[in-house]
Amino acid sequence: MAAARTLRIGLIPGDGIGREVIPAGRRILESLPSSLNLKFSFVDLDAGYETFQKTGTALPDKTVDTLKKECDGALFGAVSSPSTKVAGYSSPIVALRKKLDLYANVRPVKTTAGNSNGKPIDLVIVRENTEDLYVKEERTIEGPNGKVAEAIKRISEHASFRISNIAGEIALRRQNIRAAAAASTRNQAMVTITHKSNVLSQTDGLFRETARRALAAEKFSSIFVEEQIVDSMVYKLFRQPEFYDVIVAPNLYGDILSDGAAALVGSLGLVPSANVGDGFAIGEPCHGSAPDIEGQGISNPIATIRSVALMLEFLGEEKAAAQIYAAVDSNLDAAQFLTPDMGGKATTQQVLDDVLKRL
Amino acid sequence: MAAARTLRIGLIPGDGIGREVIPAGRRILESLPSSLNLKFSFVDLDAGYETFQKTGTALPDKTVDTLKKECDGALFGAVSSPSTKVAGYSSPIVALRKKLDLYANVRPVKTTAGNSNGKPIDLVIVRENTEDLYVKEERTIEGPNGKVAEAIKRISEHASFRISNIAGEIALRRQNIRAAAAASTRNQAMVTITHKSNVLSQTDGLFRETARRALAAEKFSSIFVEEQIVDSMVYKLFRQPEFYDVIVAPNLYGDILSDGAAALVGSLGLVPSANVGDGFAIGEPCHGSAPDIEGQGISNPIATIRSVALMLEFLGEEKAAAQIYAAVDSNLDAAQFLTPDMGGKATTQQVLDDVLKRL
Ligand SMILES: CC(C)[C@H](C(=O)O)[C@@H](O)C(=O)O
Ligand SMILES: CC(C)[C@H](C(=O)O)[C@@H](O)C(=O)O
């Protein structure tokens, strides 16, 4: 038998319910069947608003250094945003994405047999993760009519190409998985390019053209490529979500679309994400720090558990990922242990135990 | 009896189904009960992609001049966007909003008793209409890794203040109408400020602060003011649309949110808008030029008919507006004449006739 692969995983719970769900993610990794031949070691790392209040920085250098030097992947919980502007505070997850060049934010949104209102949804939003308005280059001037603030929206050919390329790769991988399962009605892969080039002809125009070019590559010839203006995309996402497969979008549209898609499956507490770079991935539930339910032990661990699977997928461990997805689907279909956001009464721990049992 | 008020209305059908719905809007104005003591004269004006192809400009000076010098209000249909970049073409409606300083884009989204899935929705999106990324200041440079394009997102205190102020006025007006009807379960007015200041602390931060300040005015003391980050706003809009009253947003978020809200009421073909400035208003259906159904006589005229009412509301003719809204609600509740987008088989003409009958 081959030596086990050992993966070192950084754990960054952050604030609020991040501290309740990240331990659940760790437990999943520790409980993977030994037949997978995977071992894990963990390192606890700080980030978030509380870290900022204690140390003056929301993302300590040590966290970034440790991830870069020691880790193969990481799990990130959530961070609280201060309710009013706080000088010097800036979101650690946005900084982390840039510092580790995690250029793709991959957000699958999926119903299971037991968790849909009739419309089966199985789509992935592939969000560019390093530029657009998230470059945070802003300035404010005092004009004759009061303040005027400006921000730069930056779209590069380089980033647009690589995000479109990975969107294509993901579409192909999904197509292969469907073909192997032979259980799906959809056979052709599809990528929908989202933009607003009717207004932003240069920036979003560049995204659109570059995405078209990237997806015209020979290796993607089996993919049907279409496009939607972002406002119309939101409309269609709500009217016919079952139609979509892979949606590729610049950073901000991807942010908005993924929350929209999450609403369609009933709870943000179900939706995972992975921040993916070359050879590194950070799993991150799409929900926030949820101060309203913090400390009650009722936060939904499913988004984090699915994020663990997604992280493993991008670290090349597709088999482990598939097993975790299957355990989650089975938990949701049984609908016996559901947290309150899903209309149930279960605790975080009960959902975790149920998923572990099915793993 | 007082002399009739005469309003001169510019008619700008634009492209595609704009040419089918704008005539319906005109018929509504011509058919208003004489008891309202309103007279209308009309002037046909050009704009759109076809105008661009014929004349080299999508918005002829004559259209702008006539609106400025002769008209009290206007109706705008829709314009087609070219499917690939066309040099020199730029959206005439975006230009018109800026040239006439129509600083508010008001988009009410409402279910009627007969047209809801159980959740009664009655909200208005008040979208800033002159700045944000719509200033269209873009540039492209050739970098070492390919092209890099940048666009300016501009948010001013001035524009943020006046849009928030009109959002407050609209919330109060709605509160008064509800109080008069005594039929609603909601009594308190609410304004939700939408932004992404957790990432864009200066631009969206300025919008947020300014909106807070505008809505803290004494005259708005009966309004409950809250805020939502834009991604979370989309999520909540889909999860609990019945909770919202007035949503105020910068230009681009307002664009996206209004399409999202339209999806909730079943069809973009129902959703009106008004582009509102001081003493001028352009009614505009939220749908586009819909090349797929153009020329079949089956486009839904409801969005335009409601836009006629909305235009009149902002020209001070609230009574006429209320009568049009009531006729539309009655048409929708009867559900006898519905166009295909609503699951019916009626033509544009049949729906128009039915609404006229109920007027
Ligand atoms: C917290 C915030 C900065 C973040 C983002 O906008 O990317 C969040 O909304 C997300 O989607 O991960
Ligand atoms: C056609 C387009 C330029 C326009 C906009 O983005 O404002 C449209 O989407 C709208 O909402 O009126």
Cβ burial, residue B214 (10 Å; 0-12/13-18/19+)? buried
Q: How far apart are CA B16 and CA A272, in angstroms?
A: 41
Helices (H) and strands (E) in chain A, counts: 11, 12
Torsion (CA) B301, B306, B310, B316 in degrees, nearest 10: 100
Beta carbons of A235 and B263 less than 8 Å apart: yes
Strands A73-78 and A104-110: unpaired
Task: Say if CB A269 and CB A339 are below 8 A apart.
Answer: yes
pLDDT digits (tens, 9 = 90+) for B11-22: 999 999 999 999
Q: What part of B 129-158 touches A (C-beta under 8 Å)?
A: 133-134, 136, 138-140, 143, 145-158
Torsion (CA) B195, B196, B198, B200 in degrees, nearest 10: -110
Q: Which residues of A touch B194 (CB under 8 A)?
A: none
Distance set, CA A2 to CA A6, A36, A59, B276 (Å): 12, 11, 38, 71
Q: What part of B 154-193 touches A (C-beta under 8 Å)?
A: 154-158, 161
pLDDT of amino acid A183: 60
pLDDT digits (tens, 9 = 90+) for B44-103: 999 999 999 999 999 999 999 999 999 999 999 999 887 777 888 888 999 999 999 999
B255 C-alpha vs ligand 2 centroid, how far in Å?
7
pLDDT digits (tens, 9 = 90+) for B161-179: 999 999 999 999 999 988 8
Residue B30 has pLDDT above 80, yes or no: yes
Q: Which residues of A touch B268 (CB under 8 A)?
A: 235
- Beta-sheet strands, E only, within A163-229: 189-195, 223-229
Reduced to 3 states, what is the DSSP secondary structure of residue A171?
helix
- A107, amino acid identity: R
pLDDT of amino acid B116: 61
pLDDT of amino acid B103: 98
Residue ranges of chain A with pLDDT lower than 70?
Answer: 1, 114-118, 183-186
Q: pLDDT class for B113, splitting at 50, 70, 90?
A: confident
DSSP letter at B112?
A: B
Question: Which one of B141, B234, B265 makes the best mutation probe of the A interface by having the most chain A beta carbons within 10 Å?
Answer: B234
Cβ burial, residue B249 (10 Å; 0-12/13-18/19+)? buried
Q: How far apart are CA A273 and CA A285, in angstroms?
A: 6
Find tokens 């440079």 and name the residue. B141
pLDDT digits (tens, 9 = 90+) for B225-284: 999 999 999 999 999 999 999 999 999 999 999 999 999 998 899 999 999 999 999 999
